[in-house]
Structure 1
């Protein structure tokens, strides 16, 4: 029951962050994910380390993999663990990509101010 409340709280925090005035919107964040991954891999974005990126990648692999820690044939429990990973992954990706968009905006602003 506690994990269910934690997932709901994470989803609510993500929703509030995405809908906050002045914050990058959902589609902006989603489109920024490939750029963010590339920047992290090239070492051009210090806001997220390669370890965190690897952890997010493992979350994606877990979701698409036919092998589960808790098999889906156990119906409710098997689907709930996948859903929990999905919520964590989306909350993490949307949060990180929002910070990355803000970083990009700061870089662009600094370049404009330089001349």
Structure 2
């Protein structure tokens, strides 16, 4: 029962974060996910560690894998564990990508050598 409440709380927190005025909107966050993954892998974004990225990757594998910890044929329980992983994954991805979008907007990039400002 506690796990359900925690998942519901995480989903609500994510919803509130995505709909907060001034916060990056849902599609902005979704489009930022591939850029964020690349930046983490290249070490250009330190706001998220490779360990958390790996954990998210394992969540994706778990969702698409035909092998489940709790089989789906156990109707409610089997589907509930997949849904819990899905909620955690979406909350994590949307939260992290929102922070990444903010990072992209606040990081001032140094001009490339030889480039003139405004060109």
TM-score by length of 1: 0.93
Asked whether 1:69 is paired with 2:57, we answer no
Larger radius of gyration between Structure 1 and Structure 2: 2
Which segments of 5 or more consecutive residues in structure 2 lack a partner in the other structure?
111-116
- Runs (4+) off by over 4 Å: none
**How many aligned residue pairs are there?**
111
Separation (CA, whole Å) in 2 of partners of 1:12 and 1:92: 12
> Which residue number corresponds to residue 113 of structure 2?
none
TM-score by length of 2: 0.90
Which segments of 5 or more consecutive residues in structure 1 lack a partner in the other structure?
none
> Which residue number corresponds to residue 3 of structure 2?
3
> Which residue number corresponds to residue 79 of structure 2?
79
